Structure 1
């Protein structure tokens, strides 16, 4: 398993990260433990969670994923073998800390809540799940309007959030900080304010990235290169779409689509057509489409780690197996051709 630097933290993380958002909803505790055991044997040392998980988010299950990870740490004794990332939600989920977004005090409250559920004394990478000011991610880019944001207030909000993260770092409760569902401008504000005021510098940004969602390729890729803020790509299979299992508008029993019919705005005629083009490329070159999709993510120069998720061990084995797949120039050229025919399907 290839290891990549996590920003400028000195930590090295596997290029494949084990995602956890199905644990406690689609996966039982025992199944989650089996996934973690297997991932470690394959060289995966990086797990990603969130205080709001599992998904779909519900008040009745919120925090269960972190509790399951904590029970595995206690049972396995392997806390020190894992770089653990988790996330704090921004404004908007009423049953998570009364819907409070990021303030100096709420950061510590959220960190303490996660530490209690996990049963550990520190978190390796603590991420902000989405900006207080809102985000263009999850298909909101179609109607995104930055002109509604408060210029002075937004910068002040970021500074206050960094102060809260700094409190947690000084207390030894988190080692490094990261962003999620952020923009190039937002990322640069976190970098600029951290450097100006001696506050924690962001190590990574966790945004969606896959063959049919490539918003990261331009401005954010430039930020990642110059500022050493690498991408942690979530949904490298576009919620399973790129495996081809939903083609023909089918919904396999127990699949994510059975819980979220439009797959977070990803599923539609355009994404089905684009997926058909990528399936043709995989078929032409004798590749498993899941292998090709994840391996493509791993070719990107800004990629720190691709976050995989699975509801079965067979899916997990396939996803992790992508680390052995190398894409030739001919395959990459065919992928580029398919992209030009379907430039923004979701």
Structure 2
């Protein structure tokens, strides 16, 4: 396993991060622990979760993922595990989380981290992330900014000041953002430097063959400001594995949960999936290997967050690390990208 420095911090994270968002919904505790043990055995030291997991988020399962990860964490040397979690933000219907997350003010962030620490059975998290911006912006499949949706928001400086207190108290080592845009990253960096507040070390955004929007502004920002990308959804909810081409009703989140994958219900998604699958067959690799190998070895990616509900899926994810696309293959991938540009932003 390769290890990389996350942003300007001291965290040495594995180039593959184990995602956990299915634990407590599609995986029970025993299944989840088996997957986590295999990831650990493979050299993965980086584990990502969130207070709102598992997905789809609902009151009956709220917090289950962190609790499952917490019981596993008790059996591991805490100082060797890089543990990341996320605080849910406002503007989503999550009334069972802190009475409905009102924003990233000090009260909400303190309540969120203390709840996460209890469920995770630890005194601190290595990386604490804001799951999505407090302010109005397009996210989770939305692709247009709408100023008519402006609403009261917690200023970014106040968010950083609240996070600073958690860092000072030892509950959090480093902070990061998720589902952010270039303006937000620049504001977080600028305000941290101007006021001596914690500097974000990471951004966790969707990044895969059908969503390369990170390259259209954020890549330069993160390169120049030394913010590491944690790429999530490298298989686009399983679409890029090709399994739905063979069987549109195959088991997975897209078929199991109605209206869960709306960001993938867009015109050019299907032809793009078919094009990448054809290329994979020509190269003699699986569609999943093509998609994962491409993300794993992108220069803008610090760590790729993978997910698996079955051991065989995890094994394929791990094997894909050894496949690195040649310059010729990258050129062919770019040809498809230019034909079907970001069909699932």
Alignment TM class, shorter chain as reference: over 0.9
Query: Is contact 1:213-1:345 (8 Å) kept?
Result: yes
Q: State which of 161, 167, 175 in structure 1 corresponds to 2:173.
A: 175
Equivalent residue for 2:318? 320
Q: Secondary structure at 2:316's aligned position in 1?
A: helix
1:116 equivalent in structure 2: 118
Q: What's 1:89 paired with? A: 88
1:145 matched residue in structure 2: 146
Q: CA deviation at 1:253?
A: 3.1
Q: Which runs of 5+ in 2 are unaligned?
A: none
Residue in structure 1 matched with residue 23 of structure 2 by the alignment = 23
Q: Which runs of 5+ in 1 are unaligned?
A: none
2: CA distance, partners of 1:254 / 1:334: 29
Q: Distance between the aligned counterparts of 2:181 and 2:148, measured in 1?
A: 14
Contact in 2 for aligned 1:262/1:268 (Cα 8 Å): no
1:44 maps onto 2:44 in alignment: yes
1:227 maps to 2:225:
yes
Provide the residue aligned with 1:270 in structure 2.
Answer: 268
Q: 1:254 to 1:214 in 2, by over 3 A?
A: closer
Kindly state the Cα deviation for residue 321 of structure 1 after the two structures are TM-superposed.
1.6
User: Aligned equivalents of 1:275 and 1:16: distance in 2?
Assistant: 23
TM alignment of 1:164-203, pairs within 5 A: 164-203=162-201
Q: Cα distance 1:254–1:344, how it changes in 2: closer, same or farther (>3 A)?
A: closer
Deviation at 1:269?
4.4
Q: CA deviation at 1:267?
A: 3.5
Q: Tell me how far apart the structure 2 counterparts of residues 254 and 274 of structure 1 sit (CA, whole Å).
A: 19
Take 2:323 and 2:267, find their aligned partners in 1: how far apart are those partners? 29
CA separation of 1:249/1:286 partners in 2, compared to 1, >3 Å: closer, same or farther? closer
Report how far residue 8 of structure 1 moved.
0.9
Q: CA RMSD in A?
A: 1.6
The range that moved more, 253-262 or 101-110, is 253-262
The answer for the alignment partner of 1:297 in structure 2 is 295
What SS does structure 2 have at the residue aligned with 1:44?
Answer: coil
For the 8 Å contact 2:238–2:252, the answer to whether it is kept is no
Q: Which residue of the partner structure matches residue 7 of structure 2?
A: 7
Offset at 1:149? 3.9
Q: Is the 8 A contact 1:203 1:228 kept in 2?
A: yes
3-state SS of paired residue (2:79): helix
Question: For residues 38-82 of structure 1, what are the alpha-carbon distances to aligned partners after superposition, in whole Å with 9 as ceiling and x for unaligned?
Answer: 0011111100000000000001111010000111112x2332221
Q: Deviations over 1:86-139 (max 9, x none)?
A: 000000321111112210221111110100111100000000001111332221
Whether contact under 8 Å (1:135, 1:181) holds in the other structure is no
1:56·1:260 contact (CA, 8 Å) conserved in 2?
A: no
What corresponds to 2:106 in structure 1? 104
Task: Please state how far the C-alpha of 1:27 moved relative to its aligned partner.
Answer: 0.3
Q: Compute the displacement of 1:262 (Å).
A: 5.4
TM-score (structure 1 length as normaliser):
0.95
Mapped to 2, the partners of 1:240 and 1:32 lie a distance apart of 18
Paired with 1:322 and 1:186, the residues of 2 have a C-alpha distance of: 33
Aligned to 2:33: 33
Matched, 1:340 2:342: no
Match of 1:283 in 2: 281
Judge conservation of contact 2:235–2:288 (CA < 8 Å) in 1: yes
1:298/1:306 contact within 8 Å kept = yes
Distance in 2 separating the partners of 1:168 and 1:79: 19
Corresponding residue of 1:250: 248
d(CA) in 2 for partners of 1:148, 1:136: 10
- Determine the C-alpha separation between the residues in 2 that align with 1:176 and 1:139: 28
* Contact 2:142 2:263 (8 Å CA) reproduced: no
Q: Shift of the alpha carbon at 1:211?
A: 0.2
